[in-house]
Amino acid sequence: MLFETVLEEVNGFGPFQILILVLLCSPRIVLPCHFLLNNFIAAIPPHHCDFKAADHDGLLSNLSEQQRLVVSLPLTEDGLPKACEMFPEAQFDLLSNGSSGSDLPTVHCSRWVYDNSTFTSTLATEFDLVCDRKSLARTASTIFFMGVMLGGIAFGFLCDKYGRKNMLLLSYALPVVFGLSSAFVTSYEMFAVLRFFTGFGLTGISIISLVLSLEWSDTTHRSFIGVMGSTAWSVGNMILAGLAFSIRDWRHLMLAVTAPLGLALLSWWWLPESARWLLANGKVEKARFYLNRCSKFNKGQTLSPQIQLEVQKTEKTYNFLDLVRTPRIRSYTIITGIVWYGVAQTYYGISLNISGFGLSIYLTHFIYSAIEVPAKWTIFVLLNIIGRKWCQAGTQLLTGICIFINIFIPDSLWYVRAAIAILGKGASEAAFTTVFLYTTEIFPTVIRQNAMGYTAFMSRLGVCISPLILLLEDVWVTLPQIILCTGAILSGLVVLLLPETLNIHLPETIEDVENPR
């Protein structure tokens, strides 16, 4: 008997599935708190050289704070004190002649004074990631996403080989250990190493939780589960804004966003293994055990003994090569890789490039996160009406069109630009929501996690390249928008080469995809 039929016997979306959804969505709230954490913990506040150490005679103590700055620091063309240079000794003549001191000799700073009005402590202020070391603040984010990329490959392979539940435990444990440890480091180098392994573990939560919840759901409710998982991301994003506003010290903020995973470790014991994966790997009795638990939870009775579970066990061990061995799977692999790369590059390109509303960094972050929620639930309605393929293609094309339009709108019409940019950001988030669900439904159970690992890798590749694209505005101011627009439109068009998966049973084996019934 097909698994979809068995699932109908035990109620494919009852209290058992709802409990799984809650237990798996809750840890997903932590993901954006780490993925976007660098915006706050690596922020570089206003700063200038600490010139007090050079005041051996104590003459500066007789001056006001503004006068101390004038005689100790050269000015920029904007009339602001330079952040990385100071005079070797106080230039008291500048108090009377009004010169900027730009023609006087200077030395590089060895220590800095930071403005703590917004942040009590950040990586930049603690490890002096300014001036010549300024790039290291952003490098921490790149190192984190390198861990996410490699984690996608590793967890994708291990989940299809050793099961979803076992690897989910590992993906909970790694961020707890390395995330909490990173709050106590004494050097930037150690922090970077720990952030790499934190990202490595977190990607497991990202790709396993959705697959496990979908593999226990019936066909009708798969889009609901996909959107709920994506909404958890937006909720976490909004919570991050509140936490960062309340906790201005980077170490305490790191502890706050990591600690909830301790509860996820406890909740793991109530999660079932995927019965689909168990049957695909010949573990019939264990699959029946979990199906019995599901039936009791949903219907108050055990699974009928007359129901025969269809086993499709093979001695073959599946890996990433199976994504390209057969023609149809190979084409899906190539296309989904392009789509994931395009979706991620566009989403993060817009997120990094969109202008704020003249508000604080915390409120702006909250508003951008809140904008995503209506976009997700709009796409939920459309997923069940026009299908996955047209939602994926449509949202990507709409994103590209919004970027294209904004190229030609003058800066003076900032309110029009802002409205179109927000529409584009909402469409790109809807595309991200859809692609998770769509990819899970396209690939069969035996290589589903391998596929999610591969696409997660392609996604993070797009994330890493997005900031580099934005730097091209120094070459031509509209070049980044042209590249993002082109990527969004092309990735939207290639979606049309994929099959529709609305109301289609999840494939179990590669043969189910290559030779559909």
Span 192-203, pLDDT tens digits: 999 999 999 999
> What's the whole-number mean pLDDT along residues 269-277?
91
Q: How confident is the model at residue 470 (pLDDT cuts 50, 70, 90)?
A: confident
Q: Which helix (H) or strand (E) holds 139?
A: helix 135-162
Give 280-295 pLDDT, tens digit per residue: 888 888 988 998 898 8
Q: 56 or 246: whose pLDDT is higher?
A: 246
Question: What is the SS3 assignment for 75?
Answer: strand
Give the integer Cα–Cα distance in Å for 207 and 455. Answer: 10
| Mean local confidence (pLDDT), 348-362 | 66
Confidence of residue 62 (pLDDT cuts 50, 70, 90): low
For tokens 């960062």, the residue is 244
Residue 303 is classified by DSSP as P
Contact indicator for 485, 404 with CB cutoff of 8 Å:
yes
pLDDT score recorded for residue 396: 95
Which residue did the predictor score with more confidence, 68 or 306?
68
pLDDT at 64 > cutoff 80: no
Mean pLDDT of 359-377: 82
* DSSP helix, strand, coil percent of the chain (3-state; round to 5): 70, 5, 30
Q: Over pLDDT 90: what percentage of the chain?
A: 36
pLDDT: which is higher, 216 or 64 = 216
pLDDT tens column, 293-352: 988 888 777 776 666 666 655 556 778 888 999 999 999 999 999 999 999 998 878 776
Query: Span 315-517: which CATH code?
Result: 1.20.1250.20
Could you give the CA distance from residue 450 to residue 452 in angstroms, rounded to a whole number? Answer: 5
Predicted confidence (pLDDT) per residue in 417-465, tens digit? 878 888 888 898 899 889 989 999 999 988 998 898 899 889 988 887 8
> For residue range 224-258, what is the model confidence (pLDDT) as tens digits?
998 898 899 889 989 999 999 999 999 999 999 99
Domains of the chain, residue spans: 1-36+131-303, 47-114, 315-517
pLDDT of residue 216 exceeding 80: yes
Same fold, 1-36+131-303 and 315-517: yes
User: What pLDDT sits at residue 399?
Assistant: 94
CB atoms within 10 A of CB 280: 24
What's 1-36+131-303's CATH class?
mainly alpha
Q: Could you tell me the pLDDT band of residue 63, with boundaries at 50, 70 and 90? A: confident
Confidence of residue 10 (pLDDT cuts 50, 70, 90): confident
Categorize the per-residue pLDDT at 473 as very low, low, confident or very high, splitting at 50, 70 and 90.
confident
